[in-house]
A and B are shown apart, each in its own frame.
Chain A
Amino acid sequence: ETGVTQTPRHLVMGMTNKKSLKCEQHLGHNAMYWYKQSAKKPLELMFVYSLEERVENNSVPSRFSPECPNSSHLFLHLHTLQPEDSALYLCASSQVARGHGYTFGSGTRLTVV
């Protein structure tokens, strides 16, 4: 257990479904991140929240909608996804400017059918 918990671990959803991914950290960090990891591609930064404000969305399609209600919780709301959105979605947290690196969760393996 890294201190960053992601649920669910696995998710299969149809293209018309709406689902949410959840991330929770109890490390006292002040920034949280969503990354997408697809096969044979580098990790892609999707969203950054620093001090609960979104500071980067990196041109992610609107079918992905993040929510950060407080510094410990981060959600990724999914709707009308495409099969190419199937990937491992990783959440991470960090203490900005502390220089200690990111702490990652174990990820949610998403399959869109």
Chain B
Amino acid sequence: SQQGEEDPQALSIQEGENATMNCSYKTSINNLQWYRQNSGRGLVHLILIRSNEREKHSGRLRVTLDTSKKSSSLLITASRAADTASYFCATELNAGNMLTFGGGTRLMVKP
């Protein structure tokens, strides 16, 4: 069964705007990760947030984690056309366990 589910499935914004994507999951996790995928290519790891962390930043990316609500959000600030891609959340249930991916959010940033 699918552990993570992203919302929205698709998002279209103008360059310079912020993009927010959400992820919900069902069971307790060790960590949650966000990945980016350009069309037809492999996934690129963006950021990992552990279950005892609430917020993490990396450049223009900000990730939050609310374990009480079993949800996470990815915020991309000051978006660029090059940010156009699909974004996936993935959960790791236990340290050393495999990742389970959600269905992804397709982000389009219009120049």
Chain B contacts for A45, CB-based, 8 A: 98-100
A66 interface residue, CB < 8 Å from B? no
Looking at B31, B33, B40, which has the most chain A CB atoms within 10 Å of its CB? B40
Interface pair B42/A100, CB less than 8 Å apart: no
Interface pair B31/A90, CB less than 8 Å apart: no
Interface pair B101/A43, CB less than 8 Å apart: yes
Chain B contacts for A101, CB-based, 8 A: 33, 35, 45, 48
Interface pair A96/B96, CB less than 8 Å apart: yes
Chain B contacts for A43, CB-based, 8 A: 43, 88, 101
Interface pair A48/B42, CB less than 8 Å apart: no
Nearest A residue to B30 via CB reads A99
If A33-B98, A48-B98, A99-B50 touch, whether A41 touches B40 (CB-CB below 8 Å) is no
Nearest B residue to A107 via CB reads B42
Bound complex: CA of A108 vs CA of B101, how far in Å? 19
Looking at B33, B45, B102, which has the most chain A CB atoms within 10 Å of its CB? B45
The residue that B41 contacts in the complex, of A96, A102, A103, A106, with Cβ under 8 A, is A106
A42 interface residue, CB < 8 Å from B? yes
If A42-B2, A42-B101, A45-B98 touch, whether A102 touches B45 (CB-CB below 8 Å) is yes
Bound complex: CA of A99 vs CA of B32, how far in Å? 10
Sample 13 A-B pairs with CB under 8 A, ordered by A number. A4-B42, A6-B42, A41-B103, A42-B102, A45-B99, A50-B96, A101-B48, A102-B45, A103-B45, A104-B45, A106-B41, A106-B42, A107-B42
Q: Which A-B residue pairs are the 5 nearest by beta carbons?
A: A104-B42, A101-B45, A43-B101, A97-B96, A104-B43
